[in-house]
Amino acid sequence: MFDLKVVVANIAARWNYKVDEVAPGIFRIDVALKQKDGTFRYQFVYAWVIEKRYFGTKDVVYMNSRCGEYNPSLNHYKILKESGYGTFSSVTVTTDKRADGSPCETVIVQAVQPIEFTSEVILNEVIYDVAFNADIIEATYFGGDNN
């Protein structure tokens, strides 16, 4: 039996990440990303289980991290090129809300990992991949560490 709460807690303890259950079954992991100069940047990755998402019959762990609010003046070509660095993740645009609750579209990095094909070791890598790629896109195209 796969227990996302236990797996996320183990990953967080291993790397000293902060983790919060922001709603029942939805976890926010504050992933530490070591920079070349030895400092750290942090990127939130959200993770939860979606039932029957994989071929309509199997459960997945869905993860995402916000990069910034979509706008038509973004260099879409360069963002798509950046997305090629993801091993487990992809870049997409999703319906979202601003801090004030008004609707917007947001560029995110996401990953969908079928539970039957995952383990704590694999999920650790996927979470880091989502955070790393979201942080690069956020820093390069959205002006810094905002999410």
Question: How many angstroms separate the Cα of 94 from the Cα of each of 50, 57, 107, 119?
Answer: 16, 23, 7, 27
pLDDT at 81: 86
pLDDT at 8: 98
Q: How confident is the model at residue 146 (pLDDT cuts 50, 70, 90)?
A: low
Per-residue pLDDT tens over the stretch 112-142: 999 999 999 999 999 999 999 999 999 899 9
Largest CA distance in the chain: 46
DSSP 116: G
Domain range for 134 is 4-141
Cα distance between residue 82 and residue 73, in whole Å: 17
Asked if the structure places residue 105 within a domain, the reply is yes
Q: Is 56 helix (H, G, I), strand (E, B) or coil?
A: coil
The phi, psi pair for 10, rounded to 5°, reads: -65, -45
Asked if the structure places residue 146 within a domain, the reply is no
SS3 content of the chain, % helix, strand, coil (to 5): 30, 40, 25
Asked if the structure places residue 63 within a domain, the reply is yes
Cα distance between residue 34 and residue 37, in whole Å: 8
Per-residue pLDDT tens over the stretch 7-28: 999 999 999 999 999 999 999 9
Question: How many angstroms separate the Cα of 33 from the Cα of each of 51, 57, 144, 145?
Answer: 30, 35, 14, 11
Total domains present in the chain: 1
pLDDT at 84: 82
Cα distance between residue 122 and residue 96, in whole Å: 28
Whether residue 26 contacts residue 46, with contact meaning beta carbons closer than 8 Å, is answered with yes
pLDDT at 36: 87
Asked if the structure places residue 73 within a domain, the reply is yes
Q: For residue 131, how far is the Cα from the chain centroid? A: 5
Asked if the structure places residue 60 within a domain, the reply is yes
pLDDT at 144: 67
Per-residue pLDDT tens over the stretch 23-75: 999 999 999 998 889 888 999 999 999 998 888 889 999 999 999 999 999 99
Asked if the structure places residue 147 within a domain, the reply is no
Residue 19 belongs to domain with CATH number: 3.30.1460.10
pLDDT at 83: 83
